[in-house]
Amino acid sequence: MRAERSRPNVPGHTVSRTNVPLPTDNAVEAAIARVLAAEEAARAAIARSHDDAAARAEAARAATRALDQRLESRIATLRARFDRQTSEQVAVFEAEAEALVAMREVAPAEMAALERALVALVGELIGKPR
């Protein structure tokens, strides 16, 4: 049903055929202005939210970069310590290897004398076999 304007019953309002007062142009314009203002406020809130999210994301990236740098530094320290300890241990092994190489070989006569001394010692400790 189409509302038609007639003589105002209430000042500032028109009345439809159903006797329901219709808002005046000023009231409609005020309502539209309120809606537009609310829409602008919502857009501003969304923009602030986007800015806040971007700032938080950048802060998270900065924290990640700082953590990465600390981890890289710790890893470098551990690698250096491992390399130093490994080098020290290799030097000990090499010194032992050189000492073993420097030992002279036992002559067959010396080996025979050691075996006779060992047999004699075992005989004294456990007795001679019968």
Binning the chain into helix, strand and coil, the percentages to the nearest 5 are 75, 5, 20
Q: Would you say 51 and 58 are in contact if contact means Cβ atoms under 8 Å apart?
A: no
Model pLDDT for residues 15-73, shown as the tens digit of each residue: 556 666 666 788 889 999 999 999 999 999 999 999 999 999 999 999 999 999 999 99
Check residue 1 and give its pLDDT: 45
The dihedrals phi and psi of 21, each to the nearest 5 degrees, come to: -65, 135
Record the pTM. 0.44
In this model, does residue 5 exceed pLDDT 60? no
Model pLDDT for residues 73-122, shown as the tens digit of each residue: 999 999 999 999 999 999 999 998 888 877 777 788 988 999 999 988 88
Q: Evaluate the CA torsion angle 32, 33, 38, 41 in order and state its sign.
A: positive
- Positions of E strands within the chain: 14-15, 21-22
